[in-house]
Amino acid sequence: MRHARTGKKLGRDSAHRRALYANLAGALIEHGRIKTTVTKAKAVRPLAEQMITLGRRGDLHARRQATAVLRDRDVVHKLFADVAPLFRDRPGGYTRIVKIGPRPGDAAEMAYLELVNEEYVAAQREERTPEPVAEAEPVDEDETEAVAAEEEPEAEADAGAEAEAAEEPAAEAEGDSAGGADESADDGDGSTADDEIQ
């Protein structure tokens, strides 16, 4: 399991690593830009941003917390007096990493870790206005009644024609069945009028 394995060790024990982070973060606050390896820059960046957030808070407790990490009162004073006020309107993202290529000696990937110096402009969301719904034209009740009255006779005529068409086949079917019954009745006796005479 990889419990409690966050962060880079950088080949140092914990005390050496804390001292490295404090020195790099202090140099960044003091100079505004430092040149280091990409791995160290990525490791120290969260700590530096936390220190700037403490500087933005500006109270005594935040100053004591920053002093416990950075270990240099002059750097802490500069952080609270000069650096933090520059970022009072920026909600995070105080630093950037700019890669500058490999180091000549060992080809380690190098980068600048620097404070963002552009003025923060808050992007405002566009307010969406609902599109106007096209209103239906008002309908006169007299016109609707007139249209309904015109449709009713046509509907009645259609219904009457359908009823007549349905009655005609039924009548033909009844006639056929009646004629067939008479013939079957004659054939059923086996005697006809001619037979009786003879």
Same domain flag for 149 and 107: no
Across the range 125-134, mean pLDDT stands at 75
End-to-end CA distance of the chain: 121
Give which of 58, 61, 118 is closest to 82, Cα–Cα: 58
Which stretches within 32-136 are classed as H helix?
A: 38-57, 60-70, 73-78, 84-86
Q: Is residue 175 part of a domain?
A: yes
Same domain flag for 90 and 152: no
* Residue-wise pLDDT tens digits, 34-62: 999 999 999 999 999 999 999 999 999 99
More confident residue, 151 or 99: 99
115 forms bridges with which residues in the sheet? 95
The whole model's pTM is what? 0.60
Residue 173 sits in which domain range?
Answer: 141-190
Domain final residue pick, 79, 97, 115: 115
Rounded to the nearest 10 degrees, how much is the dihedral formed by the CA atoms of 10, 14, 19, 24?
A: 30
CATH number at residue 64: 3.90.1030.10
> Where residue 124 falls among pLDDT bands split at 50, 70, 90?
confident
Domain final residue pick, 67, 97, 115: 115
Give which of 81, 85, 111, 110 is closest to 96, Cα–Cα: 111
Q: Is residue 127 part of a domain?
A: no
Domain count, the chain: 2
Q: Which residues, 6+ apart, have CB-to-CB distance to 110 below 8 Å?
A: 35, 36, 37, 38, 99, 100, 101, 102, 103
